[in-house]
Structure 1
Amino acid sequence: MKRTNLRALFDPESIAIIGASPDDQKIGGRPLSYLQKYRYEGKIYPINPKYKEINDLKCFPDIKSVPEEIDLAIIAVPKSIVLETFKKCADRKVRSVVIFSAGFAEVDEEGKRLQEEISLIAEQNNVSVLGPNCLGMFNVKKSVYGTFSTIIEDEKPLLSNIGFVSQSGAFGSHVFTLARQHKIGFSYFVATGNECDVDVADCIQFLAEDPGTDVIACYIEGTKDGDKLIEALKLARKNKKPVIALKVGKTDVGMKAALSHTGSLVGSDDVFDTVFKQNGVYRAETIEEFLDVTYAASKLPFPKGNRTAVFTVSGGVGIMLADQLSANGLTLPETPEPVKEKLRDILPIAAVQNPIDTTAQISYMPTLLEDFMESVLSSGEYDSAVVFLGFAGLKLDSLNDRIETLVKMKDRFKDIPQIAVTINSETSRQIFSDAGLYVSDDPSRAVTVSKALLYFAGQQEEENEEVYLPNKDIFGLSTVLTEYGSKKILKQYGIPITEEKLARTAEEAVQYANEIGYPIVLKGMSPQILHKTEKGLVILNVKDNEEVREKFGILKTIIQQTNGAEFEGVLIQEMLKNDSVEMVVGSKKDPIFGQIVLVGLGGIYIEVLKDVSMRKAPVSVREAEKMIHELRASPILHSYRGKQPYDVEELSKLISQFSHFIVSQEEKLLEVDLNPVMVFTKGQGIKVADGLMTLEKQVIHS
C-alpha cells in the first residue's frame, strides 16, 4: 500500500528528541547538536525529565507535555523503555518516529516480540517508524539531521540530487564518507535498520516523488514485501529517476548473514537480479561501481545510442579503451573522412582513426583538444565520448586549460555524455566538481560508467496489455495434475497444445488414434507417476491399430504394478513430425516476488547449460521476445546456413499468455513446466507437447 505520511518523517516542521542530552558525544546529544549547528529552521523540542533547558532550548519532561503538534520524534532511550515511550508518542499523535535503540528482532525472540508490538501500534495509529536499531536519516536541503552518526560531526554534508537509502547503517556511513571524499553529495540519506515499519521500498517511493532527487542509490540485503518493492521501482522508472542497487546475499553464506542482519527475507539472488533488470535498476557489484555509476547518472545525460568517440593522449590506453568499450556493448565508429582531413590539418602527426590520439602535443597546443573534440562531435556520428588526459589532474598549472575545454564541449554538446579520465588530487577533483564535470580516475571505470549510462538510456516503461483469462474454478478437486489434466487447463487459457484424447480402454485408444491420424504417441497417465519417461510410460511413433492395443496393455500394466499408482488412462497424442526446436516454458513461485516465468532450450539442455531467461510475471509479448533473445542459444531460432527461422513471434505470445495465467492462479500454483514446447518454422506456430503442474496446496471447495 502506498505510503502517504512519509513527508513528516523526511521533511518535518517540528522535531522532538526523547532522551536529549547537552553532551554532543551522547546518542541523544548528537541529533540536537547537528540540528542547531547546521541551522535547522523548524521547531526543536528536547525531552528529558533531568533538565529544564538544553542548549538554550526549553526541555520538556515527556512527549505529552509538548504543547504543539510534532511531525517527528527521535527516540534515543534504553531498549527497556522504548515500547512505553513509543506508546506515548502514538497517544500524542506524533506523525513519525525514528528509533535509534538496538536489541530488538536482530537479537532474540523477546526483542522480536517487542518489535512486532511497535509495528502493530504504528499501523493502528498511522505513525511512520524508521528503525529500530537504525542510524537514522538526514535531509540535507532542510538541515534535518535525525541521526547519531559521527560522519557529519566535522562538516555539513554536500547537497546534490542523489537520494541514498541503506539497510545497513555502517555500510551507509562508509559509502557516505567515500562519496564526500569524491565531492559527491546527497539529497537524503536514510538507514532503515530493522524495518519494523518504513522499509527500503517506502524510501524508494518517497525519493521517486521528491522534486529534489533525480537519482536513487540503495543498498539492499532483502525485502519482506516483493510486490511493494517492485511498485516503488516502477514509480522511479515512470518518473525517470535511475535506480542503482548494491544487493548483497548472493551466496548461501551471504544470504544467511543478510537474514540475521536485517531480518528481511533474502530470497533467490537470480530472482532479485531478474526483478532489477525488469524494472530498469542498474545492479552494481562493488562499492566503487556503486558510487561511480550513481554519480555519473546524477551529472551526465544518457546517450542516444552506443557510438563512442575516444580522445586520448596515449595510444596504448586508446587501444585498451577500444577493447573494453566494445566488450561492453559500445561501438567505436570510424572517424568520417572529412573529419580525418580536418584533424590532420590541425595536427599532421595525430592518429585520427577512432580512438583518436592527440599525442603529447596537447600540452603545447592549448586549443588542440577543443579543436579535435569540436570537429569529431559536431559530425553527428557519436553519442558519447571518453577523454583520457593521463595525469593532467596532477598538473594544476595547466589543468585550467583542460577544464575550460571540457566545459565548452559540455555546453556545446549537451546531449552527449563526456567522461574525463585523469589521475586526480583532492584539489583537482574539487576543480572538476566546481566546473560541473564528471571525472574518473581510471579508464576501465570510465568504461563501466559508459555501459551503465547506455543501460539507463535503453530503459522504457513496460506497456500494459489486456489479456483475456476465463474467470472460473479450473482445478476442481485436484491436488495433483497429470499431463492430461494440466494441458486441459492450459487449453482454456488459449495456450496451443497437441491434439490428444484420454482413452480408458484399448478400443477407445484405437478409435482416438484413427481420429487423430497415425503415427501417434501413447502416454500412460497416473497422478502418482509424474515423470513418465523414467517409468517407460511414453511410446513414440505408434503406426497401427494392433500396435495401439498391444502398447495400451503394456502401459496399463506398468501403472497397475506400481505400488500406490492409480490408472487414469492412456493419452493418445498426435506425433509432431514437422521441423521444430524444443523449448521449455515454465514458472516457479518465489517466496518474496511470487510467480516467475522462465524460458530456455528444451529437453535436458536447460539443466545442463543453465541457459534460462526469467521475469517476474506477467510480461508483455514484447518483453517475452526480449527474454528469448537473452538466451545464449537464441541464434538457433533464427535463420542460419539457409535454414528457415523459427516462430519466435508465436513463442513470445505463448510466454506472455502463460505468464498471465500463472499470475491469475498465484495462490494455487507452485510450479508449472511446459517441456517441450515445439517451435516450428516461422508462420507454422507452436505446440505444447508435454506439461505438468504442481499445486501449492489442496484446493478446498465449500
Structure 2
Amino acid sequence: MSDPIAPWLQALLRPKVVAVVGASDDPRKDAARPVRFLRKHGYAGSLYPVNPRRETVLGEKAWPSLSALPEVPDHVYIVTGTDRVEEAVVEAAGLGVKVATILADGFAETGPEGRAHQDRLVARARAGGMRLLGPNSMGAANIVDRVPFTTNAALETDSLVPGRLMALSQSGSLIGTLLSRGAARGIGFAHLVSLGNEADLDVGAIGEAAAALPEVDAFLLFLETLRRPERLAAFARAAHAAGKPIVAYKLGRSPEAQALAVSHTGALLGSDLAADAFFRDHGILRVDQFEALLELPALLNGRQPDPGRAGRPVAVVTTTGGGGAMAVDRLGGAGVALAGASPALREAVKAAHGLEVKGGRLIDVTLAGARYEVMKAVLDGLLDSGEYGAVVAAIGSSAQFLPERAVQPIIDCAGHGTPLAAVPLPQADRALAMLAAGGVAGFRTVESMADAVRAFLAWAPPRDLTAGIVPPDFGAVPAGATLDEAAGLDLLDRLGVPTVGRRLLGPDDPVPDGLDYPVVLKAVSADLPHKTEAGAVALGLADRAAVEAARDAMRARLMETAPSARLEGWLIQSMARGVGEALIGYRLDPEAGPVVTVGAGGIFAELYRDVAVRLAPVDPATARSMIAEVKGFAALDGWRGRPRGDLAALAEAVAALSRLGADPDRRVEEAEANPVIVGESGVVAVDALVRTAG
C-alpha cells in the first residue's frame, strides 16, 4: 500500500537526513539553534552542519558545502544572510533535496526588488523539483518524532509536550507562543510550522497535504492575511473530508484595501467581514480570543459541524453566582441564546437532593456548595435532554483549593453527545489540568469560553459555491473602468436583477413625450459614482416643465460641485415606491475573493454597518439566510404590524448579483445596487454602480 503522505511533506516534517547551511558555532546566535535544538531534544537522524570556515560546529563535524556531504539531505535549513541564500537554494535543488527552509528576510516584504529576488528563488527551486518554506521562516517543529528543526527560542525548554494538534503560523514567533502556552496547560502539538513569506509552500498547500497525517486531529492557524485563498479553500475541503477541524485566529485587515473601493459595499468590506465570510463558507472556525485558539479544539473532540446546533440554546450551571452571571453575560454578548433548566429537571433534583434549582437563564447551585451528586445530577440531566447546543459549568473558588471535589463531577459527565465546557473563575491550574486529562474542554477565562462556544455553534460544513450556479453571460465590458449608471443598470438587467423603468437621453436631447409622471432625473457620468453628494439627482418631478427646470439647475450645479465630470447624458426613471430599501453589493475582495453583501439600503448602509456577507456566488436559500441576519430587515418582515416586504424577491436579487462570482474571467471588481426598493410584491434596483477589473 502506498504512503498517502506527500514526499515533500515527509521531508518537511519527518526528515531522516538534515543539513543546516550557515550553521554557527556560537550557541548564542540564531544560526546555532537548529543544531542545538535537534540534539537537545533527541533527533535520531543524520545531522550535517554546513560552514566552510570551521572544522566543527557545536561539537559536530562541519562540512564545506552541501555537495561535500556523504548523502543528500531530505530537508535543508538555510540560515545564512540574504545575499547567500540563492546560492544555497541552487545547490540544494541541483542535488535533489526535497525541501529547503529559508530563515533570512529581505525579500517580498521589502518591495519590488525583493519580490523579484523571492520569485527567482522559487523558480530556482522548482527547476530542481524542490519545495521552499519561507523566506522569513523560523522553521518546522515535529514534536511527536523529536524533529525540532527551528530557530524559535521556545525550543530552549527542557521538554516538549506531544499532542495531536498542528499549528500553521504566518508569524514565526507565534509558534513559540502556542508551544509555550500549550505546555503550561498540558496541551501538546504534533507539529508547528512557521510559514514566513509563503513564497512557495503556504498554509493551504501544507494543510491540504497534512490532512492525511494520522497523528493530527485538528489544525490551528495564526494568520496575518489570506494569501492564495483558493489553496486555503482546498485545505478546508480536505480537512473536512478527513474529519479534522480548522480553527483560525486572524489579525485585522489593512485600511489600504478599503481605499481601493468606490462603492458603499467596498467601504463596508474594508473591515474583516470578507474574511469572516471566507472562514464561514469554508467550514473554518474563527475565534477572536487568542486563548480560544488553543482551547476550542478540546470542545470539538471529534465532532463534526452541524447547522442544526446553532438553533439550540446553551445552559450555564454554576457554583458561583457572580462567576455564572459573567458567563451568561459574555455568552449573551456573543449572540448565544441561553436557557435554564426545565421544570422536570428542577423537580428531579429537588426530589433526589432537596435542592431548589431556580428558574431563569442561570442554573445556580451555589447553595449546594461543591456537592458531587448535585452537580452531576444537574449536568447529566442537561446533557441527556438533547435540548442544548452546549452546556457550560462555571466553577467557583473550590476549583482552586478543592479541584478533586469541584471538577470530578464535570469530568464524570464527559462523553455525552452534548458538548460540555468548564471555566474555573479563580486561578486554578490544577483544575484545568484535570479537565484536560479528563477529556473536558477547560477555559481559563469566560471571554475565551464565550468566544469558543459562539464559534462552535456557528460552525457549518464547507459550502459548495458552484452547485447549481450558472455563470453570467453579460457580454463585453471595458477593463479598468467605472461604468456610468445607465451601463450599470443594463448590466444588472443581464444578470437578472430587476431594475427600474428608465429612458436614457443625450446631453442636449429634448424631454420626450409619454413619460409616466412623477419621475426622477439623474445626471449620467462615470465620474459621479455618488450622485446624491454631487447634487446630481432630482426626485418627484411632476411634469415636463419640472424635468427641464431640474436639468438646467443640475447642469449649473455640477459646474460648481464637479466641474471636471464628463456629462454623458440624462437618465429619467420612474418613481419607485415600496416599504423599505436595501443594498446589495458584490466585490472581488483582495484577500477573500468574490463576496456578496446585503444590508440596510440608501444613505444608511455605511452608517449602521448592518450587513451580511458571504462568498459569491450564493443560491436564494443562502441569500435568505443572509437577509435574516440583518437587523434592519425586521421592519420589512411584518414587525409590529408593518406591511411585509417581499424578502423572497430580495433574496433572488442577491443571488442574481452574486453570479458575478461565477465569472471565470473575474471581469467585475465591484458592483452595487443601492438602493433596491423592496415592495410588498417584488423588488427593483433604482441605482447601480459598477467598476470593472483593470
1:261 is aligned to none
2:328 is aligned to 322
In 1, the alpha carbon distance for the partners of 2:535 and 2:305 equals 57
1:142 is aligned to 145
In structure 2, the CA distance between the partners of 1:153 and 1:463, relative to structure 1 (3 Å rule), is same
In 2, the alpha carbon distance for the partners of 1:478 and 1:506 equals 28
Query: Shift of the alpha carbon at 1:146?
Result: 1.0
TM-score, with structure 2 as normaliser: 0.84
In 2, the alpha carbon distance for the partners of 1:431 and 1:618 equals 46
Q: Deviations over 1:322-345 (max 9, x none)?
A: 343333333443433332222112
2:383 is aligned to 377
Pairs within 5 Å for 1:291-306: 291-297=294-300, 304=309, 306=312
Alignment of 1:651 with 2:650, yes or no, is yes
1:307 to 313, 333, 349: 313
2:160 is aligned to 157
- Check the 8 A contact 1:506/1:552 in 2, yes or no: no
In 1, the alpha carbon distance for the partners of 2:528 and 2:83 equals 57
Query: Shift of the alpha carbon at 1:408?
Result: 2.6
Alignment of 1:342 with 2:348, yes or no, is yes
More divergent stretch after superposition (50-59 vs 324-333): 50-59
In 2, the alpha carbon distance for the partners of 1:248 and 1:639 equals 39
Alignment of 1:693 with 2:690, yes or no, is yes
More divergent stretch after superposition (472-481 vs 306-315): 472-481
2:443 is aligned to 440
In 1, the alpha carbon distance for the partners of 2:298 and 2:675 equals 46
Instruction: Provide the aligned length of Structure 1 versus Structure 2.
Output: 674
In 2, the alpha carbon distance for the partners of 1:115 and 1:506 equals 56
Q: Deviations over 1:585-609 (max 9, x none)?
A: 2234433444443222222111333
Pairs within 5 Å for 1:133-212: 133-212=136-215
Pairs within 5 Å for 1:503-582: 503=505, 510-511=512-513, 513=515, 517-526=516-525, 532=531, 538-542=537-541, 547=545, 550=548, 554=552, 568-577=568-577, 579-582=578-581
1:406 to 403, 410, 430: 410
- Which structure has more RCO (C-alpha within 8 Å, separation ≥ 6)? 2
In 2, the alpha carbon distance for the partners of 1:329 and 1:537 equals 41
- Check the 8 A contact 2:420/2:441 in 1, yes or no: no
In 2, the alpha carbon distance for the partners of 1:530 and 1:284 equals 36
In 2, the alpha carbon distance for the partners of 1:29 and 1:677 equals 63
Query: Shift of the alpha carbon at 1:251?
Result: 6.5
In structure 2, the CA distance between the partners of 1:692 and 1:322, relative to structure 1 (3 Å rule), is closer
1:126 is aligned to 129
Pairs within 5 Å for 1:433-512: 433-456=436-459, 458-459=460-461, 461-462=463-464, 464-469=466-471, 471=473, 473-475=475-477, 481-503=483-505, 510-511=512-513
More divergent stretch after superposition (56-65 vs 287-296): 56-65
- Check the 8 A contact 2:534/2:558 in 1, yes or no: no
Q: Which amino acid aligns with 2:608?
A: L
Alignment of 1:356 with 2:363, yes or no, is yes
Query: Shift of the alpha carbon at 1:138?
Result: 0.9
- Check the 8 A contact 1:552/1:570 in 2, yes or no: no
1:642 is aligned to 641
2:674 is aligned to 675
Residue segments in structure 2 that go unaligned for 5+ positions in a row: 1-5, 260-268
Pairs within 5 Å for 1:246-285: 246-249=249-252, 269-285=272-288
SS of equivalent to 1:181: helix
Give aligned-pair identity as a percent.
26
Q: Which amino acid aligns with 1:410?
A: A
In structure 2, the CA distance between the partners of 1:635 and 1:64, relative to structure 1 (3 Å rule), is same
Query: Shift of the alpha carbon at 1:211?
Result: 3.4
- Check the 8 A contact 1:73/1:94 in 2, yes or no: yes
Query: Shift of the alpha carbon at 1:460?
Result: 5.1
In 1, the alpha carbon distance for the partners of 2:519 and 2:256 equals 50
Q: Which amino acid aligns with 1:311?
A: V
SS of equivalent to 1:276: helix
Query: Shift of the alpha carbon at 1:540?
Result: 4.2
Give the alignment's Cα RMSD to 1 decimal: 4.0
More divergent stretch after superposition (474-483 vs 620-629): 474-483
1:259 is aligned to none
- Check the 8 A contact 2:317/2:393 in 1, yes or no: yes
More divergent stretch after superposition (496-505 vs 126-135): 496-505
In 1, the alpha carbon distance for the partners of 2:482 and 2:465 equals 35
More divergent stretch after superposition (155-164 vs 298-307): 298-307
- Check the 8 A contact 1:16/1:47 in 2, yes or no: yes
Q: Which amino acid aligns with 2:365?
A: T
- Check the 8 A contact 2:518/2:541 in 1, yes or no: yes
SS of equivalent to 1:70: coil
Q: Which amino acid aligns with 1:440?
A: F
Q: Deviations over 1:45-84 (max 9, x none)?
A: 4444467777897764422234544321122334443221
Q: Deviations over 1:157-204 (max 9, x none)?
A: 222222112222223322321221111111211112233322333333
In structure 2, the CA distance between the partners of 1:508 and 1:474, relative to structure 1 (3 Å rule), is farther
Query: Shift of the alpha carbon at 1:564?
Result: 6.9
In 2, the alpha carbon distance for the partners of 1:161 and 1:118 equals 33
Query: Shift of the alpha carbon at 1:503?
Result: 4.5
1:262 is aligned to none
Query: Shift of the alpha carbon at 1:409?
Result: 1.2
Residue segments in structure 1 that go unaligned for 5+ positions in a row: 257-265, 698-702
